[in-house]
Amino acid sequence: MATRKDSYNMRVLQAIREGRDPKTVKRPKRDPSEGPTESQIQQSCIKWFQMQHRALWEDGVLFHIANEGIRLGGQGGRIKREGIVKGVADLCLAIPRHGYGALYIEMKRPGCYQQPEQKTWQKNIERHGNKYVVCKSLDEFMVTINRYLAQ
């Protein structure tokens, strides 16, 4: 799956380099039998959290860390100067529990795995007293959140 995305991104960059409109690059069609995308899984997790933990959601303590995608033009350099870090988890639950400072959640589709930068970031964030988990489904997310929030 990563190859398809990388291939598309590379074609977009190539179009830009050649002076063509990047909107003309066709996105590959996704086979629905592959199951939900990482984004769809994450959206269902957020929706569940909003309903089950309304007060915490309203407090803003669970949030997505927008750290993905290709940045065009000067954006790449700007966001590096602003502090973007490779490998950062997708979600943060910024509540201390069970001796941890916060819970970081990396969302993955079933059958997909962390990139080397993500494993390095995980090791570093755990070294500083935080909990890090990888969730591949809504069920895993629900169990993780409920266990973490349990007193």
Could you read off the pLDDT of 27-40 as tens digits, one per residue? 777 666 678 999 99
Q: What is the DSSP string of 11-79?
A: HHHHHHHTT--GGGSPPPPP-GGG---HHHHHHHHHHHHHHHSHHHHHHT-EEE----S---TTHHHHH
Least confident of 9-18, 28-37, 80-89: 28-37
How do residues 91-123 score in pLDDT, each as one tens digit?
Answer: 999 999 999 999 999 999 999 999 999 999 999
Domain boundaries, the chain: 1-34, 35-149
User: pLDDT category, 24, cuts 50, 70, 90?
Assistant: confident
Q: Average pLDDT, stretch 38-57?
A: 96
Instruction: Please say whether the structural domain 35-149 has been given the CATH code 3.40.1350.10.
Output: yes
